[in-house]
A and B are shown apart, each in its own frame.
Chain A
Amino acid sequence: MLDFIRDLTKSAEEKRQEMLTAYVDGALSPRHQSAFEQQLSQDPSLQAEVEQMQQHKLMMRQLPRRRVPRNFTLDPALYSPPQRQPLLQLYPAMRVATVLTAVFLIIAVSAELLTFSGSADLATESTAPIAMQSESVTTNGAAADDMADAVSDDMAEAEMPVVEDAASEMEAAEMVVEEAEEMAVEAESAEMASPEESDGEVAGAAAEPPLDEDASMLEIAATPPKPEVEIQTEEQFAEAETDADSETTVVSPPPTASPSSPRMTTTAVTGRAVEATVPAATEIAAAPTSVVETDDGVPAVAPPTPPPVRQPVSTLRVVQIGLAILLIVMITAVVYTRRKLNS
């Protein structure tokens, strides 16, 4: 486009000269060349100019060519491409990989710590209420101790897995024991006061409230918590003791005469109250909690051992070890590459 504009601004002489130059250099199109040659044949001055220009061109072509003063070849030692060093080229990626490996290792260790702490909390939560219950049971009075002896065999043969039910039942049994203790104390006091008192109704009256209360407790404790535990009366104790192969749980009577023993028949009311208390008291033993008789004779309810918590540490440990090894290798490679770069 610039050539077209330039052609518009050229004079006729310039255009004629350009035509002449192009003709001498063989740059005219066939159409323009034939036209120029026709004009050339008719113009002698134009012919002289063409000859002169052709002579100039020939002289320029005859200018001597100079020999090269030296070779301009390149030194291979200076211009050869550098040897590939993949380790140096991968240096930035190695740094990133090292950081990521360290992050993953930290995550793996944190995961193990969280898993271990979670299982430990679960174990402590399951054993705490049972321990509290055992402490409350051992702090009872002598009546409770006697009752515990009565049910010690039953406790020992009770099934382990029912721990939570045993805890709730222990609470109910504790209440019954307390009531039984109160009843026993009152019965003892009433027994001791019976030879002095002529009116048995007083004792009966005194025993009535406990009887009413005990009756309510009887209703509560009427249903045995566990069907596998059979409550037997004293008459059946002698038979059961001799039956060593019996599968049923036997509640043996206390060896010593206790106020709550049905053998004590000081008063009909109190005996009835005591008798009533025996099943109620014996029903305490229905709770399938393990009772371990210690050396001093004080039964202690051993907390059931929690089921072992399976921790998937084997796979995690392998991952941790692998990440640790990889991290060591990556750090070594990065340090080595960095030294090589600096050198």
Chain B
Amino acid sequence: MDEAGLIKDAQKGDVTAYNRLVIQYQEVVYNVAYRIMGDPPSAEDVAQETFIAAYKALHRFQGGNFKAWLLRIATNRCYDELRRHKRRPQSSLDELTEDNESFAFMRTPEVGPEGQQQRTEMMQAIEECLNALSDDQRVTAVLCDVEGYDYSAIAEITAVSLGTVKSRMNRARRKLRDCLRGFGELLPATYRL
């Protein structure tokens, strides 16, 4: 069944149809929440709250990009969670180790252990620099650079103007550049910026 049919059935109260939509978009929502919140437990809570809120507000969805509508709910939940705790997201170094099942797909057979180590350190640096951004800049940077949305979609998801998105993105890129320059000596020549 296509997405429009599932949405229509879900709006009529069919929970099974809605769960099929959840399975289709839960990875995207969880990863965005994880990049914004910075830790898996918070991302899990935000993702669950996002799908519950989306089901309750499904009658207000009048058509269009369902994924963008879902991510808008997710970013708002992230904002609420960040304001409630008034904290900055912190990435855990242990999560980037090779033993972590979540990052198993990072391991490439053609890259040796040394290369894998360098790659891991690079990712860690990026995540730390990403977490150092403000909430608005981080959300914009994640949606643009991590998820690949254009400025107009980001404006729709975050409910701001196009100019605001450009401004936030510019500031985020400058901060990331300055932050990654500090990790430059630690990165291999391939990844030095």
Contacts and interface: CB of A to CB of B under 8 A. Distances in A.
Interface stretch (A65-73, A102-110, A323-331): A65-73
B166 A21 contact: yes
Contacts, number: 117
A27 B126 contact: no
B145 A61 contact: yes
A323 to B, nearest CB: 41
Contacts of A263: none
A3 B145 contact: no
Contacts of A55: 193
A279 to B, nearest CB: 105
B interface: dominant SS = helix
Interface in A7-34: 7, 14, 17-18, 21-22, 24-27
Given A63-B123, A74-B18, A27 B151 contact: yes
Contact of A52 (B15, B18, B193): B193
B46 to A, nearest CB: 10
Interface stretch (A76-84, A168-176, A210-218, A227-235): A76-84
Interface size class of B (residues with CB under 8 A): 35 or more
Contact of B193 (A56, A68, A81): A56
Contacts of A71: 22-23, 26
Interface of B: 13, 15-16, 18-19, 22-23, 26-27, 29-31, 34-35, 40, 43-44, 47-48, 50-52, 55, 101-103, 105-106, 122-123, 126-127, 130, 141, 144-146, 148, 150-151, 161-164, 166-167, 169-170, 173-174, 176-177, 180, 191, 193
14 contacts: A21-B169, A25-B151, A52-B177, A56-B145, A60-B141, A60-B146, A63-B127, A64-B106, A68-B47, A69-B44, A73-B19, A73-B22, A74-B52, A79-B55
Given A21-B166, A26-B150, 12 more contacts: A25-B150, A56-B180, A64-B105, A64-B123, A66-B102, A70-B44, A72-B48, A72-B51, A74-B15, A74-B22, A74-B51, A74-B55
Interface of A: 2-3, 6-7, 14, 17-18, 21-22, 24-27, 52-53, 55-57, 59-61, 63-76, 79-81
